[in-house]
Amino acid sequence: MNAGETAIIALADASKSYGAVRAVRDTSIAVRPGEVRALVGENGAGKSTIVRLLAGVTRPDTGAVLVDGEPADFHGPADARDAGIAVIYQEPTLFPDLSVAENVMMGRQPLAAGRRIDRGALHDQVQGLLDRLGVRLDADQPVRGLSIADQQIVEIAKALSFDARVLIMDEPTAALSGAEVERLFAVVRTLQEHGAAVLFISHRLDEIFAICDTVTVLRDGEVTHDGPTSELNTDELVRRMVGRQLSQLFPKQAAEIGETVLRVERPCCTSRPTPAQARARATCSTSTAASPPPTRAERGLGRVGRRCDVGAFRRTARKLAVERARKAPPRIA
Ligand SMILES: Nc1ncnc2c1ncn2[C@@H]1O[C@H](COP(=O)(O)OP(=O)(O)OP(=O)(O)O)[C@@H](O)[C@H]1O
Ligand SMILES: [Mg+2]
């Protein structure tokens, strides 16, 4: 990525209001070939509005959308798609009863003699795209039953089939597991190596630092930072997003410490105890204070039990919870 290179897609001093809400104000953002750019901001900062402007879903009130440095007048998403802009949303929008290949080439299936779909060519084209992305997905398998992560890969393959030059991903990782995020990142890097640009939106800041070269920070619809990700650390990024220091985000509140609600003594936290631990487990004991009401203590016990995931400790915890419930004064309806 070269900072001097003409952006594939850009917004120049664009504003967009919804009634009295000024979602985006005099905003400029540019996505260049081979760049993975982050777009970050708090909820309601205007990220998705920018996505809608770049994807031709909506038009700016003032300012312009530029494609390859020239003003573009998108009348709908099809215009943006023809300009090489594709959007991958958090929830894929595929036809579950059709195959991966049919979804990717929907409406553009290769035809054989007699205008029948050429299944062999369809498979080969789409399998080629999936292989290019470096993913193990069968073009002929039905979409129903694929994970959200796999469905997103199908959406990316679909974007490539349209020769997309910029992929805009609006919170693609929100519903993915750690391993799935890693695989998506591998696909993003492959796209980048092939010269495509990515605009990546996420609330998970560690992902921004892991995958993005540059970052645009939004606050209340305005850009507060635009530059290489390496120039910022997490605290500075958050400060630009929210307008104050990270330490002030969750200021320490004065709180009155009450009576003991729960006390756990010598908990046993291994699933396969050594003989010494087994002996210790036999003497595990727990105790709680008599008040405040038991439900809170029980909830706390439940959490501890889940986190430790240990049979003996959980059994102890359950026993305690039952005991507390029994001791609890009858509730008045
Ligand atoms: N169609 C709409 N009608 C009215 N107000 C809207 C509309 N779309 C967005 N807004 C408002 O514009 C502002 C920016 O919204 P936007 O969805 O762009 O934020 P966002 O940064 O994507 O937030 P999030 O992180 O929650 O997805 C918000 O105040 C939102 O309520
Ligand atoms: Mg959004």
Q: pLDDT tens digits, residue range 288-315?
A: 444 444 455 444 444 443 334 445 455 5
Of all protein residues, whose CA lies closest to atom 4 belonging to ligand 1?
Answer: 18
> What pTM was computed for the model?
0.73
Of all ligands present, the nearest one to the C-alpha of 46 is: 1
- pLDDT: which is higher, 92 or 327: 92
47 Cβ below 6 A of ligand 1: yes
Ligand 1 atom with the shortest distance to the CA of 218? 21
Mutate to test the pocket of ligand 1, among 11, 17, 21 (most ligand atoms within 8 A of CB): 21
Task: State how far the Cα of 332 lies from the Cα of 63, in Å rounded to an integer.
Answer: 64
Residue whose structure tokens are 């240990």: 310
- The H or E element containing residue 40 is strand 36-41
The phi, psi pair for 229, rounded to 5°, reads: -60, -30
Q: How is residue 117 annotated by DSSP?
A: B
Q: How is residue 231 annotated by DSSP?
A: G
Check residue 286 and give its pLDDT.
42
Residue whose structure tokens are 């998403």: 77
Closest residue by Cα to residue 217 from 22, 48, 40, 15: 40
CATH 3.40.50.300 in the chain, residue ranges: 9-248
> Reduced to 3 states, what is the DSSP secondary structure of residue 101?
helix
Residue 275 has pLDDT above 80, yes or no: no
Of all ligands present, the nearest one to the C-alpha of 49 is: 1
Q: How is residue 99 annotated by DSSP?
A: B
Check residue 199 and give its pLDDT.
96
Interval 207-237: pLDDT, tens: 999 999 999 999 999 999 999 999 999 999 9
52 Cβ below 6 A of ligand 1: no
Ligand 1 atom with the shortest distance to the CA of 50? 18
How many C-beta atoms lie closer than 10 Å to residue 87's C-beta? Answer: 22
Of all protein residues, whose CA lies closest to atom 11 belonging to ligand 1?
Answer: 23
Of all ligands present, the nearest one to the C-alpha of 50 is: 1
49 Cβ below 6 A of ligand 1: yes
23 Cβ below 6 A of ligand 1: yes
Q: Are 150 and 104 in contact (CB under 8 A)?
A: no
Fold for the domain defined by 9-248: Rossmann fold (3.40.50)
| Ligand 1 centroid distance, CA of 82 (Å) | 26
Radius of gyration over alpha carbons of the chain, in Å? Answer: 27
- End-to-end, the C-alpha distance of the chain in Å comes to 67
Residue 163 has pLDDT above 80, yes or no: yes
Check residue 135 and give its pLDDT.
87
Of all protein residues, whose CA lies closest to atom 7 belonging to ligand 1?
Answer: 18
| Ligand 1 centroid distance, CA of 230 (Å) | 28
| Ligand 1 centroid distance, CA of 67 (Å) | 24
Interval 105-134: pLDDT, tens: 999 889 988 889 999 999 999 999 998 888
Check residue 322 and give its pLDDT.
46
Which tokens hold the place of 276? 């010494």
Task: State how far the Cα of 46 lies from the Cα of 41, in Å rounded to an integer.
Answer: 8
